[in-house]
Structure 1
Amino acid sequence: MDSLITAAALALAAGDPLGALDRIALREDAPALALRGIAMAQLGDLDRAKVLLRRAVRAFGPKEAVARARCIVAEAEIALVSRDLGWPAKALDAARTTLEKHGDRLNAAHAGHLEVRRLLLIGRLDQAELVLAGLDPGPLPPASRAAHELAVAGIAMRRLKTRKARSALEWARHAARQARIPGLMAEVDSAFLALDTPAARLIAHGEERPLLLEEVEALQASPALVVDTFRYVARQRETTVSLATRPVLFALARALAEAWPGDVSRATLIARAFGGRHADESHRARLRVEIGRLRAELRTLADIGATNRGFALAPRQAGEVVVLARPIEERHAAVLAFLADGESWASSALALALGAGQRSVQRALEQLAESGKVQSFGHGRARRWMTPPVAGFTTTLLLPAPLPNG
């Protein structure tokens, strides 16, 4: 490797893309194309970065399998930042296998961390944990160690293990400071902010207050009967009743839980469950049927008693009944939650992450755009959607070792 390539690679590893481009901006050989692609990615020109990296893959000869694999890993990272979640995961797996086979453990680990982050975005925590368990953070340099601990923290937060998440983030902060990469330090700070930002609302006795993630964790371990609007379940410690496929029953359960220890009038329950403004005898008959169904579903957790004006929830063992609600509740809140990371998303990627149909997601995005809550740029397949960023994870574009090493 010549001195300019070496200097450019070191500049990229230190988070200095402009310094790298100063050395190789006019070069067209394969190693320079690869490094230029990484530099453009770090500067935010992702389309140009993809073009350069694909040119580099073609320019590297068949005997340069490691260099080609590193380019594929870099392209996969660009896909992650672009929220192109449909990017072929098999290509990343093959590149990771090649890197491991040739002893490039650093870039192989980087490929593994990218896969973990992709799995986290689409909610596949078990698979993410499995991949992460196969990565040994011990020999990793500081930048890669920080990425590893961020992945550990991301899984822990989604598992409601806040102590483990905070410990991992402390390790990540230490490693990021050792790496002296501003973007990485900012990412760790953003992840810490997520632990100190309200993650939910507690509704009880007619009042509500915000909850931090660690308070949500404590609530789940408490003896209270919790009606959870995140997962559409009623839960008391290890006993869980899912109402995810019974929206009418869940609406009734929530209304009863919000009013506990008081009752809820029949008119209010009909409005909450069926959307009827004027209750007639058919509505009241349907309400009796649905209350009976809900009583059967919740029999291990609570009874539902009739009162003069309606119905009331009577927990069997819990001394408290609460509702765990989303921080913001509005139509298409789930779409907004994904867009809140500040990155630009394709509608196809949102559909994959939400487990929903792409057309229904597109309709939701169009309605949100009409109300000014999201904005789009580009056309056709290149169209992307975004909203102003809030606390959460960001993604840096850093390879843990100089890309073109053969």
Structure 2
Amino acid sequence: LAARELGWPVKALEAARKTLEAHGDRANAAHARYLELRRLLLIGRLDEAEGLLAELDPEPLPPALRAAHELLVAGIAMRRLETQRARSAITRAEAAARVAGIPALTAEIQSAALILETPAARLIAQGQARPLLLEEVEALLGSASLVVDACRYVVRGVGMSISLATRPVLFTLARALAEAWPADVPRGALIAQAFRLKLTDESHRARLRVEIGRLRLALKPLATVTATARGFALVSLVAPDVVVLARPVEEKHAAVFAFLADGESWSSSALALALGTSQRTVQRVLEELGASGKVQAFGRGRARRWMTPPVPGFATTLLLPVPFAGD
């Protein structure tokens, strides 16, 4: 796991765990289960990881394993934006680590705790942007605001969510309108952002009208879009204000970058497994990031690994491709 080798035989580890349990070696059996759980967390299978974790009682285990247990609880809680639960787990992990007296374990817990104190997203409202901690993101998503979530390509409000993840043009329009709210956005600006065109003609304006019509239908019953003299404006039907939740950094390949930003070296096959995509797709992205100097590669063939320093000043939790609870 430290080497980010995620394709190892899971069934063999499970068989070993059962053998250890059968021989009464509960500590090593628990260690095997925690290895499995950390793998599940890395590849984003949160429900499965949480279900298996709930079956384990950390109390009779050695301090190091109790700390590992609480780190997993904290990791799942952070990905689900349950920050108070994450803080409590980290506090318990710190206590267990002090008893264990293992410096590397203490350092890992400190790194996990730092995520909660590092900006994880940006709030954009009425043209102004400011950084948000995970705790503030959690509060925002539970607030009365209409949130255009650019981390998960979802529009959220009053406990409802509308996914536009498979409709990039509509989401681009929704975000542009939300960033300008309550003001309108000129037609030319919307065409430039949604269609990536510098020059416009009547055909582009006609296409914009079609896409705006589709956006109106998609946003019901949370919001609508009205025409103005110079363009269009977003109108919330359920919330007193409209805000945009944006990623901490606007990176084209944010999901890949987020995994690499943990400071470990990853193979393209492990990244493909974690991202749920093909290895060739990941290889193309890595080559592009490598050409721009954002990541570095070492080794050849199957031993080739990729890594990058952590994103300075930002937590990458919201860059990871895992939906929040309720999505």
Match for residue 323 of structure 2? Answer: none
Aligned: 1:89 with 2:10 = yes
Distance across 2 between alignment mates of 1:253 and 1:315: 12
Pairs within 5 Å for 1:200-279 = 200-279=121-200
Equivalent pair of 2:144/2:157 in contact (CA under 8 Å): yes
CA distance in 1, matches of 2:264, 2:251: 21
Q: Which blocks of at least 5 consecutive residues in structure 1 are unaligned?
A: 1-79, 394-406
CA distance in 2, matches of 1:357, 1:322: 34
Q: Structure 1 residues 375 and 137, CA, compared in 2 at 3 Å: closer, same or farther?
A: same
Q: In terms of mean alpha carbon deviation, does 217-226 or 228-237 score higher?
A: 228-237
> How far apart in 2 are the matches of 1:230 and 1:353?
17
Contact 1:190 1:392 in 2 (8 A): no
TM-score where L is the length of structure 2: 0.94
Correspondences of 1:340-359 after superposition (within 5 Å): 340-359=261-280
Matching of residue 115 in structure 1 with residue 27 in structure 2:
no
**What CA distance in whole angstroms lies between the structure 1 residues aligned with 2:200 and 2:251?**
25
User: CA 1:313/1:278 → structure 2, altered by over 3 Å: closer, same or farther?
Assistant: same
Q: Percent identity?
A: 71
Structure 1: which amino acid aligns with 2:128?
Answer: E
Contact between 1:260 and 1:321, CA under 8 Å: does it hold in 2?
yes
- Between the aligned partners of 1:103 and 1:96, the Cα distance in structure 2 is 11
Alpha-carbon distance change, 193 to 367 in structure 1, aligned in 2, over 3 angstroms = same
Structure 1: which 4+ aligned runs deviate by more than 2 Å? 389-393
Which stretches in structure 2 are left out of the alignment for 5+ residues?
A: 317-327
Aligned residues of 2:119 and 2:315 also touching (Cα < 8 A): no
Per-residue Cα deviation, 1:75-134 (whole angstroms, up to 9, x for no partner): xxxxx1111111111111111111111111111111111111111111110001011011
Q: CA deviation at 1:331?
A: 1.6
Alignment partners' CA distance in 2, 1:295 and 1:227: 14
State the Cα distance separating 1:172 from its structure 2 match.
Answer: 0.2
Matched, 1:156 2:77: yes
Larger radius of gyration between Structure 1 and Structure 2 = 1
Match of 1:285 in 2: 206
Distance 2:310 2:102 in 1: 21
User: Which amino acid counterpart does residue 141 of structure 1 have in structure 2?
Assistant: P
Measure the CA separation in 2 of the matches of 1:225 and 1:347: 38
Find the counterpart in structure 1 of residue 319 from structure 2. none
Q: Classify the secondary structure of the residue corresponding to 2:210.
A: helix
1: distance between equivalents of 2:55 and 2:18? 13
AA of the residue aligned to 2:111:
S
Tell me by how many angstroms 1:343 deviates. 0.4
Give CA deviations for 1:13-49 in whole Å, capped at 9, x if unaligned: xxxxxxxxxxxxxxxxxxxxxxxxxxxxxxxxxxxxx
**Structure whose residues are more often helix by fraction:** 1
Task: Say yes or no: does 1:387 pair with 2:308.
Answer: yes
Classify the secondary structure of the residue corresponding to 1:376.
strand
Q: Does 1:328 align with 2:249?
A: yes
What is the rounded CA distance, in whole Å, between the counterparts of 1:100 and 1:347 in structure 2?
34
C-alpha distance in structure 1 between counterparts of 2:193 and 2:84, whole Å? 38
Secondary structure class of the residue paired with 2:203: helix
Contact 1:191 1:392 in 2 (8 A): no
**Residue identity opposite 2:120 in structure 1:** A
Of 282, 301, 305, the residue aligned with 2:226 is 305
Number of equivalences: 314
The structural deviation recorded for 1:392 is: 7.1
* CA–CA separation in structure 1 for the residues paired with 2:169 and 2:306: 32
Alignment partners' CA distance in 1, 2:266 and 2:274 = 10
In structure 1, the residue matched to 2:296 is 375
State how far apart, in whole Å, the 2-side matches of 1:228 and 1:177 are. Answer: 39
Aligned residue number for residue 45 of structure 1? none
Q: Is 1:124 equivalent to 2:45 in the alignment?
A: yes
Q: Deviations over 1:211-266 (max 9, x none)?
A: 00000000010000001111110001311101011111111100010000000111
**Letter aligned with residue 218 of structure 2:** E
What is the TM-score with the length of structure 1 in the denominator?
A: 0.76
Paired with 2:46 and 2:248, the residues of 1 have a C-alpha distance of 22
**Letter of the aligned partner of 2:228 in structure 1?**
T
Superposition map of 1:1-80 within 5 A: 80=1
Partner SS, residue 81 of structure 1:
coil
Contact 2:120–2:315 (CA under 8 A) maintained in structure 1: no
Are 2:118 and 2:315, in contact at CA under 8 Å, matched by a contact in 1? Answer: no
**Residues 1:337 and 2:255 are matched in the alignment:** no
2 CA distance for matches of 1:339 and 1:135?
A: 30
Question: What amino acid is the match of 1:251?
Answer: T
For 2:120, the equivalent position in structure 1 comes to: 199
**Aligned partners of 1:137, 1:145: CA distance in 2, in Å?**
5
Answer yes or no: is the 8 Å Cα contact 2:297–2:306 preserved in 1. Answer: yes
